[in-house]
Amino acid sequence: MTELANDRLLRALMRQPVERTPVWIMRQAGRYLPEYRAVRERAGSFLALCRTPELACEVTLQPLERFALDAAIVFSDILTVPAAMGMELVFTEGEGPSFPRPLRSAADVARLANPDPEEELRYVMETVRLVRGELAGKVPLIGFAGSPWTLATYMIEGGSSTHYRFSKGMMFADPALMHRLLEQLAENVCRYLNAQVRAGAQALMIFDTWGGVLGARDYEPFSLRYMARIVEGLEREMDGRRIPVILFTKGGGAWLERMAESGADALGLDWTVDIADARRRVGDRVALQGNLDPCTLYASAQRIRDEVGEVLAGFGHAPGHVFNLGHGIQPFVDPESVAVLVDAVHTLSAPYHQ
Ligand code: CP3
């Protein structure tokens, strides 16, 4: 395998020294880029784009052609796993994802399959292999999956939810059934992430987008425990290098100490957390990734630079920071603002690494 020309991301995730803070952006390949919209148009739909490795590879690389980003993230979606487990998945224009036949009973859960990632999710592995080849060691490639709890909420609700009527409903009314589902999801997610590592992913991220809606007593048993189980089952080394794992619970600010004990190398922070406070709380147990408010990108160039400076200063003088937004970039952002952000991170962070 080719040596990495830029391994700042991997070093920062392992809290090793870097000469400037690495930066990448959640959803960096997405609708804010006109060239992304053009390829999606060509593909016909978002799912067709995900399932065509050549096109998924092309859009994965698009943001790297524009900006000096320190990582690529494979273009796919967290919901490919439930789809491979046998659930029909539909993306409706303007409405997001839905499962027309959601899981509501023990019989529904019992029907779920345990796919072989190299078969049912072969298109993702092909994309990973293509992207690794095209990157030729320029920057590392991040693989990802959804957390069991987050996937379960989509599968049970049938789409995004505001009330969690059915998902939290199942959690309280039939916890044993919920645990069976989460356990099966954890096994499948673990196998899927390991397949991505074998295909060439050099770091992994688990997206727990809905973990933050859980109660204080429920986060550990229904979300964190299953993510820790996944981390435990991951292959942590490939070609002599450690594969770092990032765990991101949106809205998980209250539980950072517990997340730091999960076995993950790094925690993703949303923008509601003070990064200086987060660093004090987790100490040197894990690296931190984040956490600029995505809406900062609607401000002037100077205001973006100032806000980047605040996040960098908040983390302070130490290795172990990966700059990112606190959640995915929004579709209405001007790509020029992303250029300002990336440049500001690289320029303003150098003094923190001397
Ligand atoms: O970060 C990247 O560039 C990699 C690509 C990526 C996508 N989805 C592409 C995508 C990643 C890492 C995801 C993860 C994902 N998908 C999450 C967890 C992260 C988060 O945002 O909290 C979730 C909850 C999903 C499920 C999902 N996919 C939703 C709710 C939606 C609709 C919302 C929206 O933005 O339209 C999607 C669609 C989606 N996934 C798009 C992209 C680029 C937009 C689809 C389009 O082109 O129309």
Query: Which pLDDT tens digit goes with each residue over 12-35?
Result: 999 999 999 999 999 999 999 999
Q: What is the mean pLDDT of residues 286-300?
A: 98
- Please indicate whether residue 2 or residue 233 has the higher confidence score (pLDDT): 233
pLDDT of residue 94: 81
Confidence check: pLDDT of 175 > 90: yes
Contact between 308 and 339 (Cβ < 8 Å): no
Indicate which residue's Cα is closest to atom 8 of ligand 1.
77
pLDDT reading at 2 higher than 70: no
Question: What's the mean pLDDT in 44-52?
Answer: 97
Strands 141-146 and 72-73, how do they pair? Answer: parallel
| Mean pLDDT along residues 63-74 | 98
Distance CA 290, CA 268 (A): 6
**Mean pLDDT of the residues in the chain:** 97
Atom of ligand 1 nearest to the CA of 25: 1
Give the integer Cα–Cα distance in Å for 100 and 91: 10
* Residues within a 6 A CB radius of ligand 1: 26-31, 40, 46, 73, 75, 77-79, 96-97, 144, 160, 207, 209, 250, 328
The secondary structure of the chain in percent helix, strand, coil, rounded to multiples of 5, reads 50, 15, 40
Which of 77, 157, 204, when mutated, tests ligand 1's pocket best, judged by the most ligand atoms within 8 Å of its CB? 77
Confidence (pTM) = 0.97
Alpha helix stretches (DSSP H) within 121-203: 122-135, 148-157, 167-173, 175-199
Across 95-99, average pLDDT: 93
Q: What is the pLDDT of residue 3?
A: 84
Q: How far is the CA of 206 from the centre of ligand 1 (A)?
A: 13
310's enclosing H/E stretch is helix 301-315
**47 within 8 A of 40, measured Cβ to Cβ:** no
23: Cβ–Cβ under 8 A, 6 or more apart, which residues? 69, 70, 322, 323, 324, 341, 342, 345, 346
Tell me the per-residue pLDDT of 255-272, one tens digit each, with 9 for 90 and over.
999 999 999 999 999 999
In our burial notation (b when 16+ CB lie closer than 10 A, e otherwise), range 25-60 reads bbbbbbebbeebeebbeebeebbebbbbbebbbbbb
Is 66 in the active site?
no
Tell me what pLDDT residue 1 has: 53
The pLDDT value recorded for residue 95 is 85
Q: 208 pLDDT band (50/70/90 cuts)?
A: very high
